[in-house]
Homo-oligomer: A and B are copies of this chain.
Amino acid sequence: MDAGLPAPDPPTTIAEFRARLATVNDRLPRRLQACAAHVAANMDRIAVSTVAELSARAGVAPSAFMRFCQILGFSGFSEMQRLFRDSYAPPWPDYATRLQNLKGAGAGSPAALVAEFVEAGHLSLESLAKSLDEAALAAAVDVLARADTIHVIGARRAFPVAAYLAYVFEKMAVPCILHDGVGRLDLRGALRPDDALLAISFAPYAPETLSLVEAAKDSGLPIAAITDHAASPLARLATATLSVPEVDFGAFRSLSATWALSLALAVAIGSSEDRHPDAKA
A: residues with CB less than 8 A from B are: 14-15, 18-19, 21-26, 36-37, 39-45, 47-49, 57, 84-85, 87-93, 95, 98-99, 102, 107-111, 113-118, 120-122, 125-135, 137-138, 141, 156-157, 159-161, 163-164, 167-168, 171, 182-183, 203, 228-233, 235-236, 241, 243, 245, 249-252, 254-257, 259-261, 263-268, 271, 273
Contacts and interface: CB of A to CB of B under 8 A. Distances in A.
A25 B231 contact: yes
A137 to B, nearest CB: 5
Nearest to A41: B229
Given A90-B44, A167-B157, A264-B116, A22 B231 contact: yes
Contacts of A47: 47-48, 88, 90
Contacts of A251: 171
A24 B236 CA distance: 9
How would you classify the secondary structure of chain A's contact residues: helix, strand, loop or mixed? helix
A43 B44 CA distance: 18
B125 A137 contact: no
A272 to B, nearest CB: 8
Contacts of A49: 85
Contacts of A95: 126, 129
A167 to B, nearest CB: 6
A88 B48 contact: yes
A252 to B, nearest CB: 5
Contact of A37 (B39, B156, B229, B273): B229
Contacts of A114: 128-129, 132, 137, 260-261, 264
Nearest to A112: B264
A32 B127 CA distance: 24
Given A48-B47, A163-B160, A230-B40, A128 B118 contact: yes
Contacts of A128: 114, 118
Given A110-B265, A159-B163, A160-B161, 6 more contacts: A44-B89, A47-B90, A88-B90, A111-B132, A118-B128, A118-B129
Nearest to A40: B229
A121 B233 contact: no
Contacts of A92: 14, 42, 45, 57, 87
B260 A256 contact: yes
Contacts of A26: 233, 236
